[in-house]
Amino acid sequence: RKKCLLCNNLLMIVAASIMGCSKIARSFEMILIGRFMCGISLCVPLHHQYVGEISPRKLRGFANSTSSFFWSLGKAIGQISGQRELLGSQYLWPMLMASCGLPALVQLITLPFFPESPPYLLMHKGDQEGCKKAIRQLWGEGHHQAEIDDIMKEKATMKNTKILSVLELMKEPAFRWQLYVIVILTATVQLCGINAV
């Protein structure tokens, strides 16, 4: 999870650099390429997954809701700083376009000091000591055997569950309607007015 987030941050910094240099290069295509790279980045789902896995059980819901808050806050800050009086002027708009790389840079610098997620270490790597060390680093010293037992139960459940590839998921009739709903919701989220809010 952590390595994927780090690679994703590199992608965002490259995208921000491309958009920031578009005026110097006199190329609107660079803006399109940069926005496309921002669009394919996996920031939101990866952040939800990592934050959810490193949070203690009693704070997990709160921690997952913070990403939505910061996402909305980022949109609001972007719209405010896009005003002509701030970064929306003829000379400063490349800085506005490149500003999406700033949070990625902060996360790229700070994330190496965080441990890998305990469920990932235990379920996918089989590293029980690494899992305990990560839990102690995240949640402090104490008795965390109940959390480790929960992760082990989840691992046992996952062994009996077949993991489908994307192509298998699309071909599976049992998941077809759920997939349609998710695709329609995702495709039409821009029409709901969240950007105006």
Instruction: Please tell me the pTM assigned to this model.
Output: 0.69
CA distances from 183 to 127, 186, 188 (A): 36, 5, 9
Q: Give 151-172 pLDDT, tens digit per residue.
A: 788 777 777 777 777 788 888 8
Above pLDDT 70, what percent of the chain? 94
Q: What is the pLDDT of residues 44-99, one digit of tens each?
A: 677 777 888 888 778 878 887 777 788 788 888 888 888 888 888 888 888 888 88
Burial of 130 (0-12, 13-18, 19+ CB in 10 A): middle
Domain segments of the chain as ranges: 1-114, 162-196
Rounded to whole angstroms, the Cα distance separating 122 from 116 reads 10
